[in-house]
Structures are given as structure tokens and as C-alpha cells.
Structure 1
Amino acid sequence: MAETVGNGAATATSTTTFEVSVLRCRKTGRVLLLEAGKDFVDTLFSFLLLPIGIIIHMLKNAGGRVKALDLGISSLHKSVEKLDRSFLHVDKASLTQIRPAVVDTCVSTGLLQCLEAGETKPRPATFELPGVYYRTNCVCYGSQNKLSSTRGTRCTHGCGTYNQEMRLLSGDRESLEKGILDKLVHDLDLEKATCSSDRGFVRENVTYMVTDNLEVMPSTTVRCIQVLNKLKVATLADLESTDVSIGIIEILQLLQAALSSSTCLDDIFTKK
């Protein structure tokens, strides 16, 4: 059984959760820190890989259950969505929904899987080049060494168009297609070999401590005491620990809080 959030922004099975221990102050209910394993920390660190366009896209399409960013960058995102395609040289999705290749391959189980419904990149079966290309006579730097597959495309400096037809010979075309396909397959195999999807970012079999402002460190007695002293916790009797299951909505809420708050854990896990 799957849960879908928004318009394809995130999909996760109902069992995709992270188990963490949240530490609160008994008197105020304020969240001080939490302890978690590798999977949760990997997910937090994966926030650093996300382009701002996909972050805004995911938060906006979370079915109203996550507060969308209301910042200047959000207006830029909205402007691209509203702008007529005739004014753009690129597909809108390249600015608003771009996905970095590293997210698909350098992740551990659950890492961004619940954020982007990431799938393993398929091995390309075929690769077909256009039979006709166009070149330009303009003299600006670099344009003479480039070809376009679309007649009438303007050069990067706007001083000419690609309209002189060139056709690939059958043998040359087949050779180029094979070379490009072999390179794509080789790159995919290399990614799998050098960046195992089971490895992630941090070491396994370690308990990590995450503070309210999302500072991450190994959870040791000394570090825990240092953090609690910094938070002016008088005695251990002032503390209350609760086991919490974190799902897709909480992860998206943390992502939103990470961009707009310095009290991220308290914003999400404080008792209402």
C-alpha cells in the first residue's frame, strides 16, 4: 500500500519510517535533541544535495500538509511556472523539477526514496540520433563548431541562426549511436560500482545525536552532557524521552524548517 503526497512530489510505502528518540524538557515541553540511526541522518544530509527548485516543488505539492516556502526564491519558482514557453530557451522542468543524478545512485535505503520516489536509472536499450543537423554561418565564438537538430535555432549570442542542413551518412550515424550508447552504459555501471546504494553518507551501527538546530554528531555521554549544559538543563529529572516514528510528512516538514528556522526539531515535534 502506497501513500502519495501531492502531485508526484513524494511517494513512499506506508512502512517507510524512521524510529528516533526525542528528548524534551518536562517543564516547558521544548524539544532539545533526538537520537537516531544512520537512515535518518542520511536523509538529513541528503537535503544538501537537493536543488532549490525541487525543494520548492516538493513542499508545494505535499497536499497542503507541509507549509510551503513563502520567500523570494518561491516567487522565482512561480515566475518560471507562469512564464510563457516562448520566452524560455529550456524546458520549465529543468528549472523547477530538476533531479541531480547523484541522488539516484549515492543513497542508502530510504534516503530521498520517501522524498522523490527515486527509481534506479534504467539501462538504455537504444539510442537514436537525428538524421539531419543544421549549422550556422555566424562568426561569433564557438558557434561554427556546433550543430543544432532544430532548424532556426538562434546561436547563443543571437547574431545568427542554424539553418544550413547537414545529413549524417548511414555508417557514421550507426557508429556514433553505438559509441554514445556504450558510454551511457559504462557511466551507469561505473556509478553503481563506485557509489553503492547501500552505503549512504554516514557509518552504520552508530547512534547519532541531532540538536534542535540540526547539528549532527555521534551520540556519546560526553557530547550529550556538553549539549545539555549548553541548553542549561539542571538535572536529568528535567528530561523526558519519547520514541517517535517519522514518516514522509515529518521529513518534508523538517526540510521546510531547515530552510527557515533554527529550532527545527521543536517546530516539528513539540507537543501541542
Structure 2
Amino acid sequence: MAESPNSLCLKALVAKGRNEVIFIESDSDFVDVLLSFLTIAMGTIISLGRNCAVPLGIGCMKNLYESVENVDVLDFRNSTCREMLLCPRNRAEFQCKNLQLKIYDGELTKFFYCSKCTPDKSNLLSYCSGDRCPCCHCNMSSEMNCCSLEDDDSGFVKERSRFIVTDNLQVLPPLIQSSICLFTKFGVVDKNSIEEMTINVAIDDVLHLLMCSFVSKTPLTKILLKKEPVPEPSNININGRIHVKIQNVGDNTNEEDNISIKLVVSKSKETVCYAEAGDDFVSLLFSFLTLPLGSILKKMGNTSSLKGCTDQLYYSVQDLDEQYLKSNSHKELLVNPRLVPGFCYPNLLGIEEASYSWIGNDDDMFGYATDSLLIPSNSLYQLEVKDPKSQYSAGKSARGFLKGPVMFIVTDNLIIRPISPVFGISVLDQLNVSFNDIDVQSVHVGKEEAWRILIASFLGNSALTNAFLQKPKPEQEDVLLKEPRQEQEQYC
């Protein structure tokens, strides 16, 4: 098979009889595509999944996405806030820009300034044309003459590097020890037990691989060999309350930063029917859509409750050394991804934003990068990007994506609607819960609870119940979420 501009040609070793992929041999092009999965925000993944033949199996995330679409635009601080959630930016956009197979083609970041104030006067830029200038309240509609210093830095691994990729998306060096371990796993004793195949992988195949990686441990076999249907996503019963150890995510939040919500609980079923919450809690939930996949996997650890194999992709990147990756900065983009500046919901999740560094010249041409190492320390130019969630402020971030005060009903599977007794009664009726079976509990959401809800929403369809009501057995308390990482299956 000839390789075309819209496909990659891969060599696969398949176990005869079982018709399963043992591994594929790959160069940097295909591995860069796989690693880019870790940089994609959940909102983008949900959007891509709508046009994919593979069923979307990412817990409650689809309900969150649809709730953003259904909330009245007037409840958002501005129209940009909704766009940030439905089409979140990728911090690694320049590393992903020139991938040979791109499953999404978002517009690269542009910056705008107020022509009356000019950058050298206000030192303030905006992502959004027409945003209000904090200095004079005029529109910031003049596009900045700038370029990214990361523009030519496509991909994550060194060019001409070779790898093997296992059926569960582990990316390994092409060493004989790795191959022998894999052959042993599949019961291969000699060449007669394997078959060599050449497979062309197109853009649709890459999208299907991404979606299949959330619901299957063998996505290469299912997508590339089309051996059997991809399993339908199912709700995961989490045995034991999600417990997260808060490490390396900044200082603990102050008590006044905690969010108060009320849970409407079925006493007999020991489940959360729905929550009554303000705009601060809903902004927190919506912020899940801005998070890169890699940042969620970092907190999850290697959990047996994960039906797919995205965690294996994440941990194989952790094990790759500088011999294969372009730099430590590229590795950080994958295993410790930061948010695009302005996209963070303050405090609770503790995920850091990247920051832009700038360099200017006499021709008013500016270069920028989120990696300050690309800019000489004596050439920094003081420019600041305005938080899109804030109408005027150049400094402190706006509290969230929504205006307040406003109240919402949040169901157990994270369907969000404006508060309404009629909708609440409808939820109880669907769950077959009577009024005398209800208990209303007030709870506080801090950093640990925020992470519990996030991971529960990623794993299954009962996010609030699993985050607040499931009581851990002593031996299960730390099963689902651990830092540092747990033991995982290794082939080398």
C-alpha cells in the first residue's frame, strides 16, 4: 500500500489464529498523533465524538457539554465564555499544527488590542476581537502583528525515531526485550505464529482510535483489523468513594473558597437524585471541559475502573526518555499539561495555567511563546493577555464562566438546568423516588471534592453519588486515585 498525504502506512504484527495485533512498528509521525491525544481538551473530544461512528464512552462529560449548549447565553459572563467551553483551546496547538493526521483543525491563537491605547500603552491583549478595553472601554479589535516562536516546533518525539505501539497504546522503544515480552504474552514461539500486515491509517481511523481508547483495552485490533464491534460504553460502578491525595497542585484552598451545595438524596437507594447549586458550582463543572486529557489521567493513576487504555498511553510517555522526546518541555506538555492562559477556574482543581512570554522589535513585530526558554531573558516584553471571563479587569481572573447569582439543578449524571421545582419533581419521578424518601444534605466542595467529582464524571454516570455518598472500605480507600503512580502492566 502506498502512503498518501492523508494516511500513514504502518507495519503490524498479528497473532495468527487470534487475529489480534501484537504491536505495530511506527515512526515519529504516527506516535506524534497518538501522543497528541493527551493534549486535547475534553470539550474538543466530546465535540469530535459526535461525528464518530465509535460510541462516546466518557461518563457524564457528554451531558456537561450539552448542558453548556442548553444554558441561556445570557447566563454566561459573555458569549466568549460559552465558546471557551464548547471549543477550548489547546496549549500544545503549535506542536499539533503540522501533524500528518489531524483529527481537528482549530484556528490558531490570535491576539487583539485597542487601537486607541496600543500595546505599548496598556500592555494588554485579548483573544477576542471586539472585547472591551479595560482602560478606555473601546473595542479591542486591532489584530496584533505577532508570530509564535513555537510555530515550527511540530510534534513531540524526535524525527526519524522508531517505536513499537502495543494493542493497548503503550508506546515503547523498538528493543528486542520489548518484542520478546509481547510474543510471550501472545504465546508466539516462532515466525510461523505471526503474520505481517501493512495497514494504511487515515484520519477517520485516528478519530476512531481515540474514541475506542476510552472503552476498549485493544483499540488497534478493533479499529485497524476491524475484528469485532467496539463495545458500547456502560456505566461503571465505582466500589468505594473516590479518594484523591492532593499533591503538587498548589496550596490548599481556604475555607472561604469552598462551594456550598445541597444534595437531594434518596434514603432508601442511597443515591443522589440531584443537587441544588449556584453558578460557582456549575462553573466548576463546566471547567472540566477545558481540561486536557493528560491532566485528568495524571490524577487518576492506574485504576482498574478505567475501561479503556488511555492511561497506558499516558504512562508510556512518562517512561520515554530524552533519547526519544524532543525535550523535557515537550514531555511536560504531555504528562503535566497546563491550561491556556485565562481558561482556568480559580483555586479548586489547582491545575496551573501557562503564561505567555513576549519579545518585541523596532518594527512592532512581537514574538511569543509559553515556553520562556525560547526567549532570551533580556528580551522579554511586558504584555498581558486579558482573562476572557472578565469584562474589564486586566489582573485578577473573573470567578467563573457564569454570571451570578443564579441557581441550577444538577442531576447525578450532570445534566444541568435552571432551578425549577417542576424539573426537580420530574427527576424524582424518573428515579421512582417518593417525597417521603428524600433527605436534603448540605455539603461543601473543596479541592478534594472537586477532584472526586471530576474523576467520577469521567468514569461513570453517577458522578455526585460516587463523589459524595460511596463509603470506602479500608482496603479500597486509595484504589482509584493514587499519587505517585500505581503498578501497571509492563512489557519490557
Q: Work out whether 1:87 is the aligned partner of 2:324.
A: yes
1:36 counterpart residue number:
277
Whether the aligned pair in 2 keeps the contact of 1:208 and 1:218 (CA below 8 Å) is yes
Aligned residue number for residue 188 of structure 1: 385
Superimposed CA distance per residue, residues 114-146 of structure 1 (whole angstroms, 9 cap, x where no aligned partner): 21254694x85x749xxxxxxxxxxxxxxxxxx
Residues 1:177 and 1:56: Cα distance change in structure 2 (over 3 Å): farther
Letter in 1 for 2:296: I
Q: Aligned match of 1:243 in 429, 442, 460?
A: 442
Contact 2:290 2:343 in 1 (8 A): no
Q: Are residues 1:19 and 2:260 paired?
A: yes
The one-character-per-residue Cα deviations of 1:16-66 (angstroms, maximum 9, x if unpaired) are 3111101111223221111111111111110000000111123349xxxx9
Alpha-carbon distance in 2 for matches of 1:204, 1:67: 39
Q: List aligned pairs for 1:40-189, cutoff 5 A.
A: 40-60=281-301, 71-90=308-327, 91-101=330-340, 104-107=341-344, 111-116=345-350, 118=352, 121=355, 124=357, 127=359, 175=362, 179-180=366-367, 188-189=385-386
Taking the aligned partners of 1:112 and 1:190, their CA distance within structure 2 comes to 12
Correspondence 1:201 to 2:440: no
Q: What is residue 196 of structure 2 aligned with on the other side? A: none
* Deviation readout 1:184-242 (Å, 9 max, x if unpaired): 755614858668632622231111111111111111111111111111123x2211101
Tell me the secondary structure at the aligned position of residue 94 of structure 1: helix
For 1:112 and 1:85, the matched residues in 2 are separated by 33
Query: How many residue pairs align between the two structures?
Result: 211
* Residues in 2 aligned to 1:243 and 1:233: alpha-carbon distance in whole angstroms: 19
**Structure 2: which amino acid aligns with 1:42?**
S
Q: How much has 1:246 moved relative to structure 2?
A: 1.5
1:254 match: 453
Q: Which residue does the alignment assign to 2:468?
A: 269
Q: Deviation per CA, 1:132-163, whole angstroms, max 9, x where unpaired?
A: xxxxxxxxxxxxxxxxxxxxxxxxxxxxxxxx
CA distance in 2, matches of 1:189, 1:32: 39
C-alpha separation in 1, matches of 2:438 and 2:381: 54
SS across alignment from 1:31? strand
Moved more, 79-88 or 183-192: 183-192
Instruction: Verify the 8 A CA contact 1:127 1:177 in the aligned structure 2.
Output: no
Q: Percent of pairs identical after alignment?
A: 27
Per-residue deviation at 1:268?
Answer: 1.6
Partner of 2:57: none
Whichever residue aligns with residue 401 of structure 2, its letter is: F
What is the CA RMSD across the aligned residues, in angstroms? 3.4
Contact 2:359–2:381 at 8 Å: present in 1 too?
Answer: no
C-alpha separation in 1, matches of 2:392 and 2:294: 25
Distance in 2 (CA, whole Å) between partners of 1:49 and 1:116 is 13
CA distance in 2, matches of 1:259, 1:217: 20
- Contact 2:253/2:447, CA 8 A, preserved across alignment: no
What amino acid is aligned across from residue 338 of structure 2 in structure 1?
Answer: R
Partner Cα separation in structure 2 for residue 22 and residue 192 of structure 1: 28
SS of 2:366's equivalent?
Answer: helix
Mapped partners of 1:10, 1:219: distance in 2 = 34
CA distance in 1, matches of 2:283, 2:389: 18
Q: Is the 8 A contact 1:257 1:267 kept in 2?
A: yes
Q: Which runs of 5+ in 2 are unaligned?
A: 1-244, 369-378, 472-492
- Structure 1 residues 69, 96: CA separation in 2 closer, same or farther (over 3 Å shift)? farther
Bigger proportion of residues as helix: 1
Aligned match for 2:430, one of 207, 218, 230: 230
Structure 1: which 5+ runs fail to align? Answer: 129-173
**Rounded Cα–Cα distance in structure 2 between residues aligned with 1:184 and 1:98:** 25
Shift of 1:257: 0.9
Cα deviation for residue 260 of structure 1 reads: 0.9
Mapped partners of 2:456, 2:276: distance in 1: 18
Instruction: Give the TM-score of the pair, scaled to structure 1.
Output: 0.66
Residue 258 of structure 1 aligns with an amino acid whose one-letter code is S
Q: Which residue of structure 2 aligns with residue 9 of structure 1?
A: 249
Are residues 257 and 230 of structure 1, via their aligned partners in 2, closer, same or farther at CA, if it must alter by over 3 Å?
same
